[in-house]
Structure 1
Amino acid sequence: MNTNQGFKKGFLWGGATAANQIEGAYLEGGKGLSTSDFAAYKDPYASGTVNNFTFNVTSSELEEYTKHSESYLFPKRWGIDFYHHYKEDIALFAEMGFKCFRLSISWARIFPTGLENEPNEEGLAFYDAVFDECAKYGIEPLVTMSHYEMPIALTKKYNGWISRELVPLFEKYAKVILERYKNKVRYWITFNEMNMNLNSLYTGAGVLEDLVENSLEAAYQASHHQFLASALAVKAAKAIVPNVEIGCMINQIEAYAHTTKPEDQLQAVKSNQLNMFYPDVQARGYYPSYIYSYFAENNLTIDSKAEDIEILKNGTVDFVAISYYMSHVAEAREDASKLAGTFDSPIKNEYLELSQWDWPIDPIGLRISLLKLYDRFQKPLFVCENGLGAKDILTEDKKIHDEYRIDYMRKHIQQMREAVKEGVDLMGYTPWGCIDLISCGTSQMSKRYGFIYVDQDDTGKGSLERYRKDSFYWYKEVIASNGETV
């Protein structure tokens, strides 16, 4: 009987980042160009209303960016220069009391084109230094193998994960980093938010969407190949890393029915099924029956081989990780099938406030998600992204008073604690962008998430000085009290 009244001892409090949004040094240390290096800055307000997703790239844009890169801004190429500031940044994380730091490894820093037979030693050595710095402060790394980037050469040669050729290339990469860091990294995630392939094929799978006939079919074909690569990486991790814990991850998009009308309720069920499809495969080891019905209804054909059944069966994950930013509203309407499984619903929930980027703020939705996920999988869960993007103001005395962020996170932590009391096995909490970084969706710097302010604007100008926000001191108290003081 679970009588837990709060977060367990050893709960992994920390923060989350991604290599392509913080590292910079995009051509240093032998790194190759990645897909994220071609995410050009586009004014998200150009249309008059905020566009949260400017990260898609077409084949013609890629050609233009390659030929005339000097004419465009590519903020993910400079990040926040974590490559040269990692000691300072990790020291600040330690000051907050981090138990865990979620980061990713850039595939292109290890295999610059993805096609090399031998890895790049300079790239491997960089992450050695980062993990050693974490160890100095007793911080556990939680490492994502693939977080919205891959060598651009694999997009140009194979059109990304649409090709099965990437499966052995990723397996080679995974085995190299697992072997290299087997005594430094215990916690791993294979792919970041794989379900976001349904929102941006280029970002999630390195696929140039204008070169495929059916983008929905391409998204599921790319996902199938990533499922195989993930399963093979899990199998390798079990053989290489002592006491390894390796998980999958989705962007959790809990769908509510718009009304009590049965048709709306049914659409909510279908929307949630498409979201759960990804952990269903990775945590259970097989394709659920409902997805075959969905494929048939939408005339989708996914190429697979007989051996895939065993690969998936033998590569199930230990835990299910989620990012959680908002809930979704589903309705039986003409475009319902197109909207199912997508990140942002055009139907706004009248009971929820919106962030500055029009994202619904729904702390109870996180609790609902955790309860349903744990009921479904009976595996430990990890909230490895959650946070509020906002425009912070640096005062003349170098302070940032971000009570709005504290309020947002306080409410989400309270709901996590209630879920734990109700029996959910929760491993940890690493809120997104623990230090300000380049936005994934818009490549902005001004959409800030961190506890630490980085002096840099959307065009890359600034001193790169780091300043502690009010939320920095608040989160330090949260960690010190194991979530009791919020």
Structure 2
Amino acid sequence: MEGQRLKYNFPENFWWGAATSGPQSEGRFNKKHRNVFDYWYDIEPSEFFDEVGPNIASNFYNSYKSDLKMMKSIGFNSFRTSIQWTRLIKDFETLEVDYDGVNFYNSVIDECIKNEMTPVMNLHHFDLPIELYEKYSGWESKYVVELFAKFARKAFELFGDRVKYWTTFNEPIVIVQGQYIGEFHYPKIVDGKKAMQVAFNLNLASARAIEEFRKVEHNKDGKIGIILNLTPAYPRSNSKEDLLAADYANKFHNELFLDPAVLGKFPDGIEETLKNDGVLWEATSEELNIIKSNKVDFLGVNYYQPIRVKARESEFDYSNGWFPDKYFEAYEMPGRRMNPHRGWEIYPEAIYDIAINIKDNYGNIPWYISENGMGVQNEERFLNAEGVIEDDYRIDFITEHLQFLHKGIEEGSSCFGYHLWTPIDCWSWINAYRNRYGFISLDLKTQKKTIKKSGYWFKEVTENNGF
């Protein structure tokens, strides 16, 4: 790459790195409480691929120093993980902290800074404490919203002197979909009305955390955002019916959290539709004002795949009650490129569309790609004689997405970074280790970590700030 003219240069001080989360990397070592996934694994291990649970994960709790050093060696200047509610807090009501948790997160933050990597700390990554579900029905409860705001405040007070970039939630729409619609997160309830109340409560919880953030003195030079997985909905055709279907799909899948976070209000028309359907959330004017008054400073965008939709051609099945796909159906576009391991469409062009949408419709708020990646099964097939996984498919995937991201930046979108999911192959909920995503491979039996070909390639990209 040296000596060649770089075709794709990225802005100065661009973030290069990757993201993981506490529950997916740390393991359950010294953790006094269980989150919903810890509990689900304990009661139904057969639900998880190869019955592998979160007990050890990638052992980050014990190996964070060498792990962070390895990340730095492949060019990271930034790194996102999360603070687990269940590790930091001993008593969720009184906010008594667990000092082992405090010491662990202090050490992780200090080690990031020592390695000249900007730490980005997220506060919720699908890991609600199980006690708060059993006592209060979890995110169905506005009391839990208040407990979350208090936990967030405690984290800001403990770590905000060094952590200058925070996010409230990772992919809150997935909590709605997984727990209350699609049955892929515990407790696997199918209830559209509860789903919509949870969506409101999560928006409120994010705004309340932001409100608390701005009260803490040493956060004055910090910034707080949210991580949203955006899945642009593309219509089958330009017919009025298909365009309406895509518009509604976008409102539910994307704008339901994007609009309140950035604009302080819900998408136009969605409350009226939900009210007419009898599933509108309960909200007070005071709560709506909290959302309006506590918008994010920046946005993290997780992008993996688009969705393609068409106007409904089959009658909606009401047997399980109301769901948002009353207004649209999935459409399988002929000739689409797929990742067969994950069943997801590969469409890097959508990153450009996201960039322009943020620029044109969301005040060009500062944002970054907080996750993007390609999960592949049985990567050991690509091991070479030197013991390195030759994951050229991942290099190609990242390259294509960066090209379209660069195009959006060239046209004025204020993107300031790119993070892959994930630095080290991590535990992925019920999929466990079925698909691998990392720049660094993990041998589950030995916990040995080895840089993949993509990791060495990424180091060159970061050194050149482009390719």
Q: CA deviation at 1:251?
A: 1.1
Given the two structures, how large is their TM-score scaled by the length of structure 1?
A: 0.85
Does residue 470 of structure 1 match 2:453?
yes
| 2:371 corresponding residue in structure 1 | 385
User: Which stretches in structure 2 are left out of the alignment for 5+ residues?
Assistant: 1-7, 317-321
Alpha-carbon distance between aligned partners in 2 of 1:318 and 1:439, rounded to the nearest angstrom: 29
Q: Which residue of 1 aligns with 2:233?
A: 255
Q: Tell me: CA distance 1:205–1:348, structure 2 relative to 1, closer, same or farther (3 Å).
A: closer
Aligned to 2:59: 81
Seen in structure 2, the aligned counterparts of structure 1 residues 91 and 164 have a Cα distance that, compared at 3 Å, is same
Moved over 4 A (4+): 202-207, 335-342
The answer to whether the Cα contact below 8 Å between 2:348 and 2:401 also exists between their aligned partners in 1 is: yes
Post-superposition CA distance 1:130-185 (Å, at most 9, x none): 00100001100111100110211111111111011102211110011001111111
Letter in 1 for 2:215: A
Cα distance change on mapping 1:281 and 1:99 into 2, 3 Å? same
Count of residue pairs the alignment pairs up: 443
Alpha-carbon offset, residue 206 of structure 1: 8.0
Q: Is the 8 A contact 2:193 2:281 kept in 1?
A: yes
- 1:46-57 aligned at under 5 Å gives the runs none
User: What is the RMSD of the two structures over their aligned residues, measured on CA atoms?
Assistant: 2.6
Q: TM-score, normalised by structure 2?
A: 0.89
348-357 vs 328-337, which moves further? 328-337
Q: Secondary structure at the match of 2:426?
A: coil
| Alignment partners' CA distance in 1, 2:250 and 2:354 | 10
Say whether residues 1:482 and 2:465 are aligned partners: yes
Contact 1:405 1:471 in 2 (8 A): yes
Cα distance in structure 2, aligned partners of 1:384 and 1:189? 11
Q: Who is 1:36 aligned against?
A: 37
Question: Is the 2:52–2:432 contact (alpha carbons within 8 Å) kept by the matching residues of 1?
Answer: no
Matches within 5 A, 1:35-434: 35-40=36-41, 64-65=43-44, 73-112=51-90, 114-201=92-179, 208-210=187-189, 215-240=191-216, 241-274=219-252, 275-333=254-312, 334=314, 338=323, 340=325, 346-355=330-339, 356-378=341-363, 379-391=365-377, 392-393=379-380, 394-395=383-384, 397-434=386-423
Residue identity matched to 1:381: W
Structure 1: gaps (5+ residues): 41-61, 457-461
Q: CA deviation at 1:112?
A: 4.2
Deviation digits for residues 244-273 of structure 1 (CA, Å, limit 9, x no counterpart): 111122210101111232211221111112
Residue 6 of structure 1: CA displacement? 4.1
Partner Cα separation in structure 1 for residue 305 and residue 146 of structure 2: 35
- In the alignment, the residues of structure 2 paired with residue 369 and residue 310 of structure 1 have an alpha-carbon distance, to the nearest angstrom, of 27
Question: Judging changes above 3 Å, is the alpha-carbon distance between structure 1 residues 383 and 126 closer, same or farther for their aligned structure 2 residues?
Answer: same
Q: 1:97-155: per-residue Cα shift (whole Å, max 9, x none)?
A: 21110101111001246334311111011000000100001100111100110211111
Identity, % of aligned pairs?
A: 29
Displacement after TM superposition at 1:37 (Å): 0.9
Q: Does the 8 A contact of 1:35 with 1:150 survive in 2?
A: yes
Deviation at 1:340, TM superposition (A): 4.4
Q: Residues 65 and 249 (structure 1 numbering): CA distance in 2 closer, same or farther, change over 3 Å?
A: same
Give the letter aligned to residue 432 of structure 1. W
1:446 is aligned to 434
